[in-house]
Amino acid sequence: MKFAVNYSNSLVRLLKEENVNIDLIKCPDWDGMLTEARPYGKITIHFDLEVGLGNTLKADFSRIQKLLETTETVHVNTHLYTPPYFDPNNHYEVEKINLLWRNEIQHMIKHLNGTIVALEHLPYTHTSKHLLPAADPEMFSQVVKDTNCMFLLDLAHARISADSFGIDVKTYIQSLPLDRLVEVHITGIKTHSGILTDHFELNNDDWDIFRWALDEIETRRWRKPEIIAFEYGGVGQTFFWRTEYDVLKDQVPILYEMIRRIDLP
């Protein structure tokens, strides 16, 4: 398993100082950021693709293919999404979004020359009720199975969705297609502006769920993922106020050693 961390200026500082070890720098598919990150390590791209809005039908797959060839990215991720006006209680709309998901995913598969497509679940909250079908574990798992895609597990998204559904997070995760797991994301969650939000430093509960996930991987109850990514830190307005050098300095080495300690041949 390879350990990736979100690109940020604080991460670059740590890498220059040789204070942390990582395998991959995780970046969005932004040309400017990729240029900035390349001198500091190998890159894996987390694409900002969403099926359910029709956007992937217009995606530039030749550019995506070139990015795959020039980075260490081993699969193309996409999120199941529903438009903001979507009514999850409308049976017709649910059938329609299910068809659109499958059509868009098949379009991606057709244009990616055999590259694996990994589906990621988004977090469902009381302020994003339109996302309920995309976060529903049974519906999500069926899409993964029907399209023969792989699965990207975001532990923070799972915790947020499980809280909204009112169920235990481990029960929620275990109902997802873990036999198709290829990537895991870990980050802290906090209540921000009254909503559970991710991309924070890890606290005790976050460490506990990560230890449990590693145990499931080590004992082979889950498929061994190829990448485990720490999604703390970033650049721009979204991340500058929650990207701290000291957090990365403290938590990245612990994560690296935890992953190395249980890595399987």
For 141-172, the DSSP string reads HHHHHHHT-EEEEEHHHHHHHHHHHTS-HHHH
Note down pLDDT in tens along the chain; length 265 residues: 999 999 999 999 999 999 899 999 999 999 999 999 999 999 999 999 999 998 899 999 999 999 999 999 999 999 999 988 899 999 999 999 999 999 999 999 999 988 899 999 999 998 888 899 999 999 999 999 999 999 999 999 999 999 999 999 999 999 999 999 999 999 999 998 888 999 999 999 999 999 999 999 999 999 999 999 999 999 887 887 889 999 999 999 999 999 999 875 5
> Cα(156)–Cα(74) distance, rounded to whole angstroms?
22
Say which amino acid occupies 143: V
pLDDT at position 242:
86
Instruction: Report the pLDDT value the prediction gives residue 158, as an integer from 0 to 100.
Output: 97
What's the pLDDT at 1? 93
